[in-house]
Structure 1
């Protein structure tokens, strides 16, 4: 009976998340509370076993760091300076924004990056009288592709990194970076060719851009230096994690606390905390509780056994199966709940004789992160950009994004399959 109840609660919440009729944090939280009320697990178990507080703390710390850095105007400065560096030419501007977004998504996280750059991009396209949709679509795609490359780049990777302590920041970069680079170059080349005829800028508009003073956006005091140094040191701490033997969450928390202490006179703590994406954090809390219900009732074990049965326990088949399933499903449902459900499934594979399951983690990361490019609801970054675009009265049409995004997902899955097979799986056959 408990198994049926947990499935009903989880499935109902999943449908509501896809439909987006209600706030997703409320949906996930309500589902988690229903799990407790139904007696599937106790509240002590929810808070002690199923909610991953390391992931919550890491996200919270990064939100504080980026919130403080954004108050210095450094991100607006970068956007204007980049546009001026290419003299307002539309195609080079698209390439530079895509590159900066991809790099920013890898080093900060893609949701934070698009929150910072989407408003700036909307302003830029308005000033240059350019259609915003192609640029916003490229922003979404490059953020999801770039975020795939590192442990902190995309929420699914953060969740995997917290679940598997042996996988470091460098492991993600080394194992996912090469294929992400190939996919980014290929996809962006195709998009520039696809959109090139839609992008034209009048000479007068270009001159207006060139006359802007990019440095006027910067807060020219000590806080700028403090924010940049602490942010750089935090990222360096992530890279040196294997040598320092300090948890990523501890590094992020230390960086956030240090920066708040250094800047509390200029930026009130209350204002900083007000800018934290609390909805996202509470969504994760509810999500962990939802998945905990599936784990508590043994459904996760059944899924693991089913995949093993279907793939006959073959590492190559299992890896490619996870890649394609996660890639396709993440295009139609938010990739965060899918990854939350799959993590305990993959952990179960060790009990079924698989000694080396690292390729399965890379398959899940590639599939979930890149698959999020399929539709506007496939990843958190997509939803954020779509919301900002609608607020600026320049909405992105679902079908228009789908026509571009889904072929890119299929292409990304093909490239990822070849990469995984050649690098990790060929010697197991």
Structure 2
């Protein structure tokens, strides 16, 4: 009986206690000055100057807090605090709290608090900016290998965050979790998979055979050969990485040029310029496009439909630009016995494994179909490339260890990953927002002015520094302008793609394909000097970018 009595008293006490408890629910969304949600903001509810509940915003910037209070509350004593490093802390009373009763008779208080947070210029801002500029400088002036420069920069940012940032949060740049989240694995896996596919195809001799066929079609006419090689390079670069394309075509072009007694640069420079142009036409042709497509969720078809036509026009115009610079050299390349040379090339550059080639072409065709339909399937392009690479490895019988060691450019992939970390630090600390505000102030709400600014700034910057780090930096800037400028649609993304990819033709260090081609040429005794490339690259780039700008201003 005594136990029963005590249980009854306890039950009454708990019932009364809970019936007198009040529930407080607060939710909302936190945005930055550009209207984008801010993740990782610490949200605290204070009552009578004491923290009674905590939460954190999601990736979209939303938050929701529900907490219990023993007794009814005085709404005027409820405050909310928003706090995140590199943003100004806000603490304010919660207004417009709605009060009602739950079915059990207890009180419930509900409110919504939305807020725009403004950046605070902290030491972390200057650290991120300093590392970004230093990394660009080290890459541009080739003081360090670009992968070493990017790895060093990313490591410094994380090291500072977990040393100085531990004792003073104003020095905290970004967390390890934020760094990992900043790496776009869609780009990494797409590049890796395409490297494997190309690596297997190299074993068939298909690329050397294409060079031989190009000469056969020209019938000894060197200018015609140059045109054919430019278009072959552009088309191949549209579906394969342009760096890989030049690695395969450049050595063969040098041999053909020497047989014709002409300077190999008269073929190589037009080819590499064409490779950067061809790579601009598709989602997978050039690393900047891969990055843009992944960030902006643009499909293979969207790139092809919006850029292929203007790139074709640009390529045709540049055929005559190349003739202006190399016309005299082409006239030197006269071969008395063309048939004899063709027979020699036919024997040397032939398909070495037809069975493997047929299998590779079938798989490549399947992958391209997936690229074309990936928007409809809501499938990332990397998945299409991964299934193609795995099928080729599964049935071709090639040595996977050899592929991974010799065909996959791990230094390039590590460079991309570390670069993404550096750019994410710039996003987290507000460096990118500063750049975006500058461009927005210049452009105002004018779409035409924004197109002109983005395409020319991108082209000039990409000629000075490698277009990959520049594109990574510009992605969030263009995203902001696309949201804020009326009727922008995807036009500004096409401006960035055209500027970054075509701008890479401006100087010898503007694009990775240029550097690779120069290395191949130098090993054969025909170095491409910075000045020599500049003489051709600047006019070609200026004409190309001007055509692209007019195309976009006219509505594409």
In the superposition, the TM-score normalised over structure 1's length comes to: 0.94
Task: Name the structure 2 match of 1:279.
Answer: 411
User: 2:374 aligned with 1:252, yes or no?
Assistant: no
Question: Could you tell me whether the CA contact under 8 Å between 1:160 and 1:361 is conserved in 2?
Answer: yes
**Deviation of 1:99 (Å):** 0.6
Q: Which residue of 1 aligns with 2:532?
A: 400
Give the equivalent residue in structure 1 for 2:271. 139
**Correspondence for 2:72:** none
SS of the residue corresponding to residue 257 of structure 1 reads: helix
Greater Cα offset, 196-205 or 347-356: 347-356
Q: Which residue of 2 aligns with 1:346?
A: 478
The 8 Å contact of residues 186 and 381 in structure 2, kept in 1 or not, is answered as no
The equivalent of 2:134 in structure 1 is: 12
Whether contact under 8 Å (1:335, 1:368) holds in the other structure is yes
The aligned residue for residue 173 of structure 1 is: 304
Partners of 2:233 and 2:245 within 8 A in 1: yes
| Cross-structure match for 2:108 | none
Q: SS at the partner of 2:555?
A: helix
The aligned counterpart of 1:356 is 488
Residue 357 of structure 1: how far off its partner (Å)? 3.9
Does 1:28 find its partner at 2:161? no
| 1:34 positional shift | 0.8
- Deviation for aligned residue 1:364: 0.4
Q: 2:428 aligned with 1:296, yes or no?
A: yes
2:175 aligned residue: 42
1:204-251, Cα deviation, whole Å (9 max, x unpaired): 563442222536631235212111111121112212223333321111
Select the structure that is richer in strand.
Answer: 2
- Check if 1:337 corresponds to 2:469: yes
CA RMSD of aligned residues (A): 1.6
Whether the 8 Å contact between 2:140 and 2:466 is mirrored in structure 1 is yes
- Structure having the higher helix fraction is 1
Matched, 1:414 2:543: no
Q: Is the 8 A contact 1:88 1:209 kept in 2?
A: no
**2:554 alignment partner, SS class:** helix
What is the rounded CA distance, in whole Å, between the counterparts of 1:355 and 1:202 in structure 2? 55
Deviation track 1:281-327 (CA, whole Å, cap 9, x = no partner) reads: 11111111111111110111121122111111222211211111111
Query: How many residues get paired?
Result: 420
Q: Is the 8 A contact 2:282 2:300 kept in 1?
A: yes
Residue of structure 1 in register with 2:223 after alignment: 91
Give me the whole-angstrom Cα distance separating, in 1, the residues matched to 2:321 and 2:306: 25
Contact 2:325 2:536 in 1 (8 A): no
Residue 54 of structure 1 deviates from its aligned partner by: 0.7
Which is higher, the Rg of structure 1 or of structure 2? 2
Structure 1 contact 169–241 (Cα < 8 Å) conserved: yes
Between the aligned partners of 1:178 and 1:371, the Cα distance in structure 2 is 18
User: Does the residue aligned with 1:22 lie in a helix, a strand or coil?
Assistant: coil
* 1:196 alignment counterpart: 327
Contact 1:127 1:205 in 2 (8 A): no
Q: Matched residue of 1:114: which SS?
A: helix
How far residue 80 of structure 1 moved from its aligned partner, in angstroms, is 1.1
Alpha-carbon distance between aligned partners in 2 of 1:206 and 1:29, rounded to the nearest angstrom: 51
8 A contact 2:203–2:353 mirrored in 1: no
Paired position in structure 2 for 1:223: 356
Alpha-carbon distance in structure 1 between the residues aligned to 2:300 and 2:160: 39
Does the CA-based 8 Å contact 1:128-1:206 persist in structure 2? no
1:5-49, Cα deviation, whole Å (9 max, x unpaired): 1111111111110111321111111111111011111222211x2
Aligned residue number for residue 116 of structure 2 = none
Q: Distance in 2 between matches of 1:129 and 1:268?
A: 39
- Equivalent residue number for residue 427 of structure 1: none
Which whole-Å CA distance do the structure 1 matches of 2:177 and 2:337 have between them? 60
Uncovered stretches (5+) of structure 2, i.e. residues with no partner:
1-122, 162-172
Q: 1:84–1:209: 8 Å Cα contact kept in structure 2?
A: no
Query: Take 1:213 and 1:342, find their aligned partners in 2: how far apart are those partners?
Result: 45
Contact 2:504 2:511 in 1 (8 A): yes
The residue aligned with 1:106 is 238
Give the Cα–Cα distance (whole angstroms) in 1 for the partners of residues 265 and 419 of structure 2: 31
Is this contact kept in 1: 2:451–2:495, CA < 8 A?
A: yes
CA distance in 1, matches of 2:337, 2:137: 46
Q: Which runs of 5+ in 1 are unaligned?
A: 425-429
